[in-house]
């Protein structure tokens, strides 16, 4: 099941910072220990393409996590702008026509379909008028994304095992919501569906996205190494 992914690319560190300079300081701090970084809305608005170029110039990979959700033509044009900028992963959050538009323009970038945000739980689905379970919704969306030609999905580690067992090894699974401990002891933040690094990989995730547990640690490199030890044991 395990893909040939180097250990220092299994963790995608979320550069949720307010400037390109702050991002660069994190690359200096983590060094060779982490070679994959996420650029989300905050850093992209603050640092734009120069922030992505800085990461690439360090020899690292980039997940551009802007969760494109718009009319298909707009999403296609946005992916076209990104595809030749060196992004490894581009996230899209939409229906079939939106995903098809992104796939058509991806070139060598990989399109990841966002299933259900890890800040959602069953009560949020009920509030939206949905009656099924999160597990079923995530599986349905992931199956459809794979059929359409997406390279992978973003899902919590709680759903990863069902996705891997039902959809096979071809699907890339990228898992945010990584916290020390388990989902039985939810951290006091906005993430509701969480797992540990080792659990995510055991359940079938290829990569984990980690931000606050590393960023807020007294010794971020020690936390990275601890998570990498968990990942290595799970593999």
C-alpha radius of gyration, the chain, whole number: 17
**pLDDT 10s digits, 89-117:** 999 998 999 999 999 999 999 999 999 77
What pairs with residue 11 in β-bridges? 208
Average pLDDT over residues 196-207: 95
Largest CA distance in the chain: 47
- Kindly state the tokens that stand for 104: 């058509």
Tell me the whole-structure pTM to 2 decimals. 0.90
What is the C-alpha end-to-end distance of the chain, expressed in Å? 9
- pLDDT for position 97: 97
Question: Does 67 participate in catalysis according to the annotation?
Answer: yes
| 89-92 vs 110-114, strand pairing mode | parallel
Average pLDDT over residues 72-80: 96
Is residue 113 packed enough to be buried (19+ CB in 10 Å), middle (13-18) or exposed (0-12)? buried
Q: Which of 3, 20, 38, 67 is catalytic?
A: 67
CA atoms within 13 A on the CB side of 133: 5
Domains of the chain: 8-234 (3.20.20.70)
- Residue 5 phi, psi (nearest 5): -110, 125
């Amino acid at each position: 099941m395990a893909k040939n992914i180097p250990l220092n690319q299994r963790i995608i560190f979320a550069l949720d910072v307010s400037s390109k300079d702050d991002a660069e300081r994190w690359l200096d701090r983590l060094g060779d220990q982490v070679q994959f970084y996420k650029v989300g809305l905050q850093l992209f608005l603050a640092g734009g393409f120069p922030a992505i170029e800085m990461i690439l110039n360090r020899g690292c990979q980039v997940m551009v996590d802007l969760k494109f959700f718009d009319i298909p033509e707009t999403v296609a044009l946005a992916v076209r702008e990104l595809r030749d900028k060196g992004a490894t992963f581009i996230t899209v959050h939409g229906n079939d026509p939106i995903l098809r538009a992104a796939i058509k323009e991806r070139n060598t970038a990989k399109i990841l379909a966002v299933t259900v945000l890890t800040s959602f739980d069953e009560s949020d689905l009920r509030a939206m008028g949905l009656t099924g379970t999160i597990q079923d919704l995530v599986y349905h969306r992931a199956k459809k994304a794979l059929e359409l030609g997406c390279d992978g999905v973003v899902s919590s580690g709680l759903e990863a095992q069902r996705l891997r067992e039902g959809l096979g090894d071809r699907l890339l699974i990228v898992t945010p919501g990584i916290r020390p401990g388990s989902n039985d002891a939810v951290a006091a933040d906005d993430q509701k569906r969480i797992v540990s690094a080792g659990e995510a990989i055991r359940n079938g995730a290829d990569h984990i996205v980690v931000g606050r547990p590393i960023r807020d640690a007294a010794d971020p490199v020690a936390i990275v190494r601890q998570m990498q030890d968990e990942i290595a044991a799970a593999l």
